[in-house]
Amino acid sequence: MEVRINNQTVQAAEGSTIWQACRTAGIHVPSLCYLKDVSQNASCGVCVVEVKGARSLLRSCITKVTEGMEIFTDSPRAMKARKMNVELLLANHSQDCLICDRNGNCELQQLTFTLGINTRRFERTRKEHYMKDESSLSLVRDPEKCILCGRCVAVCSDLQNVKAIDFAGRGLKTRVSTFLDEGLGLVACTNCGQCALVCPTGAITEKSAVGDVRKALQDPGKVVLVQTAPAVRVGIGEAMGMPYGSLVTGQMVAGLRRLGFSKVFDTDFAADLTIVEEGNELLRRINNGGILPMITSCSPGWIKFIEHFYPEQLGHLSTCKSPQQMFGAVAKTYYAEKTGTDPRKIVVVSVMPCTAKKYEARRPEMDGAFQYWKEKMNLSEEEHFFDVDFSLTTRELARMFRETGIEFLQLPKEEFDSPLGESSGAGVIFGSTGGVMEAALRTAYELYTGKPPEGVDFYAVRGVEGIREADINLNGTIVKVAVAHTLKNAGILLDQIRNGTSPYTFIEVMTCPGGCLGGGGQPIPTNAEIREKRAASIYLEDKHKTIRKSHKNPEILSLYKEFLVEPLGEKSHHLLHTHYVERG
């Protein structure tokens, strides 16, 4: 249909909102509460426009266009109201921008600058002051910085179906809180961090481990190893000013060496290890009448979700630890023995696209290396250590690069160290939704049939649909598989299992939209278009890998030959597998 925007004729799609029509016309109407595919509650009033014939200003994010509508986005009336609405938000907002984690990447800060607001015109209307909530191992909530846009509530409720946070109170006492105002670490939060990813201010951020990592790096008595997840290599470049989805594996390795890490390893190595263990576990369940469908267990937010909401189905989870945790266990046992290093001196740092990994690293079950050495070295409980010491997000690594003055764009490309740095293409695609399934199928097909598949690309499990299913022909045996991303979609598949209608043998679940590529610790912004570009780079790296199957990774073969002996063997059971618990 035809509408006029700022005296220009524009073609707008029927059913589109004024905000969408303006974007089509190349006009940006600012907003705070609106976020495509996440939130559209029209609460902030920043996107108001004037429409000829309307008595009041209209909120463009929810108002549909009509034939012949005349819209003015920059009329004095609209501009004045927009500016006042932002000023009212600022009245109750903390003013510590210079020391805020989101300084320089804050939508409210940018909007204030764009609208030319340079004075604080209104007094604080909210009398209550709220303390920071630091009860979570993954996230920090600062209600003083909350502008009540509702994005976090929407993403937790609608995208993840967790509902750990919601609006509480009325009028000036309205706030975002948890059930009974308990800390975020004391409720059924999955630590996914999607709330932090969509928050326009610094009201929800990751709990930073940068200080702890810096301290470890400065300790001459420590051997500090770092592992990097596959999704980081297509995200860290964005945070350092490069185009979305830039593949910067080599530069990332070089940057980590310049930060002072003793060795730079690849979590993709552990992803390959996960596939070998998980593929063998799946075949054992199929052949021995084990619990099916088997569901992947590498996403810690998903693990906490099933523990809270579907504990009766924990038996369907693979017992494999995530690649992050497998790496830590192997680094403090196999690598320690191979290099003659005291495991108590080893500090394992992971760089992940995920805030839930911080929580996972402190799960009491994740101390396989300590248990391995406890009797061998006569260790006391006071000497206890976890397999992974600290987990950084992609955003935190970018912060460390900037603090250190590393000119990331000028770095040369360097290779990962050995023996925990070699990976296959299957390990790389772990970062994308469907990637774990495809990697597993590349190995499981060969283990089951005794011969390689005709091609290693299982396109049927790739894509961005919330739930995808495929029939895989294992040399005459049809295996039905499913892939889901976001916890809401995971719940749909779990309901099928609960109802006895699930037709699947194997299911992959990723907590975040798009998989780890859209993780809660990735650069802000992260949206569907950006996730698509990151995925393209992930699959490009896979395509160019010489080895594309996990069980063909020579360093994995050496690990079994020199240390683990065999998949699902005794050492593997103690170091690489775990159990999960029912939570209230």
> E strands within 446-557?
467-474, 477-485, 506-510
Which residue, among 326, 539, 299, 293, has the nearest Cα to 435 in the 3D structure?
539
Q: Is 4 helix (H, G, I), strand (E, B) or coil?
A: strand
Is the distance from CB of 293 to CB of 316 less than 8 angstroms?
yes
pTM of the model: 0.96
Which residue, among 192, 136, 132, 108, has the nearest Cα to 393 in the 3D structure?
192
Which two three-digit tokens encode residue 473?
Answer: 């022909």
- Site of tokens 């600022």: 90
Domain 2-91 belongs to what architecture? Roll (3.10)
In this structure, is the dihedral angle defined by the CA atoms of residues 117, 118, 121 and 125, taken in order, positive or negative? Answer: positive
Which residues are within 8 A (CB) of 476 and not within 5 positions of it... i.e. 6 or more apart?
Answer: none
The pLDDT score that the predictor gives to residue 573 is 97
Enter the DSSP assignment of 203.
S
CA–CA separation, 213 vs 401, rounded Å? 13
Is the distance from CB of 365 to CB of 176 less than 8 angstroms?
no
The pLDDT score that the predictor gives to residue 455 is 87
Is the distance from CB of 44 to CB of 93 less than 8 angstroms?
no
The pLDDT score that the predictor gives to residue 536 is 98
Distance of CA 451 to the CA centre of its chain: 35
Domain 211-576 belongs to what architecture? 3-Layer(aba) Sandwich (3.40)
CA–CA separation, 36 vs 23, rounded Å? 12
Number of continuous H segments (helices) and E segments (strands) in the chain: 21, 17
The pLDDT score that the predictor gives to residue 127 is 75
- Asked, as a colleague might, if the bond just before 293 is cis with ω within 30 of 0, I would say yes
Is the distance from CB of 572 to CB of 327 less than 8 angstroms?
no
CATH topology agreement for domains 121-206 and 211-576: no
CA–CA separation, 287 vs 277, rounded Å? 15
Is the distance from CB of 450 to CB of 480 less than 8 angstroms?
no
Domain 121-206 has CATH 3.30.70.20: yes
Residue extents of the structural domains in the chain? 2-91, 121-206, 211-576
Q: What is the pLDDT along the chain (584 residues), one digit of tens a residue?
A: 999 999 999 999 999 999 999 999 999 999 999 998 899 889 999 999 999 999 999 999 999 999 999 999 999 999 999 999 999 999 999 989 999 999 999 999 999 999 999 998 998 887 788 999 999 999 999 999 999 999 999 999 999 999 999 999 988 889 999 999 999 999 999 999 999 999 999 999 999 999 999 999 999 999 999 999 999 999 999 999 999 999 999 999 999 999 999 999 999 999 999 999 999 999 999 999 999 999 999 999 999 999 999 999 999 999 999 999 999 999 999 999 999 999 999 999 999 999 999 999 999 999 999 999 999 999 999 999 999 999 999 999 999 999 999 999 999 999 999 999 999 999 999 999 999 999 999 999 999 999 988 889 999 999 999 999 999 988 888 999 999 999 999 999 999 999 999 999 999 999 999 999 999 999 999 999 999 999 999 999 999 999 999 999 999 999 999 999 999 999 999 999 999 999 97
Helix ranges (H only) for 233-379 are 236-239, 249-259, 267-288, 300-309, 323-330, 336-339, 356-360, 368-376
Is the distance from CB of 132 to CB of 142 less than 8 angstroms?
yes
Distance of CA 499 to the CA centre of its chain: 30
Single-letter amino acid, residue 571: K
> E strands within 12-87?
48-51, 58-59, 70-72
Is the distance from CB of 250 to CB of 558 less than 8 angstroms?
no
Is the distance from CB of 111 to CB of 32 less than 8 angstroms?
yes
Which residues are within 8 A (CB) of 351 and not within 5 positions of it... i.e. 6 or more apart?
Answer: 226, 227, 228, 229, 232, 256, 391, 392, 393, 394, 396, 397
- Catalytic positions are 278, 281, 298, 318, 357, 360, 365, 516
DSSP string, 489-504: HHHHHHHHHHHT----
